[in-house]
Amino acid sequence: MGEKYDVIVLGAGPAGLTAGIYLSRARVKTLIIDSGTAGGQMVMSYNVANYPGVETTSGWDISQTMLRQAKTFGCKVMTQSPVTGMNLSGEDKWVEVEDEGRFYAHAVITATGGVPRELGMESEQRFMGTGISYCATCDGDFFTDKEIVAIGGGNSALEEAVGLTKYASKVTIVHEFNEFQAQPWIVEEARKNEKIHFLMAQDIIEFTGTDHLETVIVASKETGERTLIPAEGCFIFIGYVPNTAVFKGILELNERGELIADRQMNTSVPGVFAAGDLREKRFRQITTSVADGTIAALSAIEFLQQRADSSPV
């Protein structure tokens, strides 16, 4: 039988790491499992200026600080560890990890976050890794002194476009609507940046090039007129897809694939909690994920205490 824990946390993003900090500090034996690196989508943020108490930092720096905190309190963290199976019903839940076997716990916190949404185009697939990226922090410096395109109109798209001007000689923001969905302050910051140019109400038609991306072809929604944008790089920031496929048929999901949880982060299965961007909610920020992780951890602690109180002496 594999090692037993009080709580297993699935996901090492801001929600999962926060849960790990709270649980371990409360001396709850905790294991965090993530199929990738610690930090989740947070590490893609080049500049974070709205995290309370921190004037300016990067998502990577925040994630590393959280990771150190969790480990300092005794939390075990397994990264690059794909989950191959699980049983979340009953009192003794288990999670199976590739090459590591099964780990058991009385409670599980799901905090698997999401992945960048793709446009779903054949030419997009063709140039992934050779010009098309979804992570400015990861790939921005590859495009130093080059012209690039940023697709999207939300906060992330404009924030990352501004961050990319540190490297690129020109950034063209392409958006499908005439108005941005981003907050006014970041729209104003982007418009003030001399390196940023705008193409509004455009459809993405195709990405072209030989061995790497060379051109982004767009078309006006109003006139259909096509524009060929020379670009050696294109960053796509059009939202996310929740990482919940593994929970289908196990936990209740909505029509968008988001995990349904109440205000205490309880899911449809007793002893299983949700936190972060995988769950159904309106706002998705590092701070909201941290709040979710806090609540999920405290709810899990309460669940374990109630379970202990009801156990036969």
Which DSSP state fits 117? Answer: P
Judgement on whether residues 244 and 111 belong to the same structural domain of the protein: yes
Judgement on whether residues 108 and 171 belong to the same structural domain of the protein: no
Last residue of a domain, one of 193, 213, 236: 236
Judgement on whether residues 141 and 157 belong to the same structural domain of the protein: yes
Question: What sign for the dihedral angle of Cα 52, 240, 149, 178?
Answer: negative
Letter string b/e over residues 93-119, b meaning 16 or more CB atoms within 10 A of that residue's CB: bbbebeebeebbbbbbbbbbbbebeee
Of the listed ranges 45-59, 103-117, 139-153, the one predicted with least confidence: 45-59
Residues 6+ apart with CB under 8 A from 185: none
Give me the pLDDT at residue 76, please.
97
Q: Does the pLDDT of residue 164 top 70, yes or no?
A: yes
Judgement on whether residues 139 and 68 belong to the same structural domain of the protein: no
Last residue of a domain, one of 236, 269, 295: 236
Judgement on whether residues 188 and 136 belong to the same structural domain of the protein: yes
Give me the pLDDT at residue 284, please.
81
Give me the pLDDT at residue 312, please.
62
3-state DSSP call for residue 128?
strand
Judgement on whether residues 30 and 166 belong to the same structural domain of the protein: no
Judgement on whether residues 45 and 75 belong to the same structural domain of the protein: yes
d(CA 207, CA 210): 10
Strand 226-230 with 272-274, pairing: unpaired
Judgement on whether residues 230 and 276 belong to the same structural domain of the protein: no
Judgement on whether residues 183 and 252 belong to the same structural domain of the protein: no
pLDDT grade for 311, boundaries at 50, 70 and 90: low
| Number of domains the chain contains | 2
- Give the distance from CA 217 to its chain's centroid: 28
Chain segment 87-116, per-residue pLDDT in tens: 999 889 999 999 999 999 999 999 999 888
Judgement on whether residues 144 and 216 belong to the same structural domain of the protein: yes
| pTM for this prediction | 0.78
Of the listed ranges 50-59, 62-71, 283-292, the one predicted with least confidence: 50-59
Give me the pLDDT at residue 96, please.
96
d(CA 34, CA 243): 12
The 10 Å Cβ neighbour count of residue 231 is: 26
CATH number of the domain that residue 177 is part of? 3.50.50.60
Give me the pLDDT at residue 67, please.
97
Say what the alpha-carbon torsion angle 19, 22, 24, 29 is, to the nearest 10 degrees. -60
Judgement on whether residues 15 and 26 belong to the same structural domain of the protein: yes
Say what the alpha-carbon torsion angle 43, 85, 307, 4 is, to the nearest 10 degrees. -80
Token digits of residue 34 = 């993530």
Last residue of a domain, one of 196, 221, 236: 236
Q: Does the pLDDT of residue 313 top 60, yes or no?
A: no
Of the listed ranges 158-167, 184-193, 230-239, 276-285, the one predicted with least confidence: 276-285
d(CA 264, CA 269): 13
Q: In percent, how much of the chain has pLDDT > 70?
A: 98
What DSSP element (H or E) covers 220?
Answer: strand 213-220
Judgement on whether residues 37 and 137 belong to the same structural domain of the protein: no
Domain span at residue 250 reads: 4-115+240-310
CA neighbor of 165 nearest in space, from 141, 184, 138 = 141
Contact 294, 18 (CB under 8 A): yes
> 39: left (phi > 0), else alpha (psi -120 to 50), else beta?
left
Backbone angles phi, psi at 6, to 5 degrees: -75, -45
β-bridge partners, 114: 242
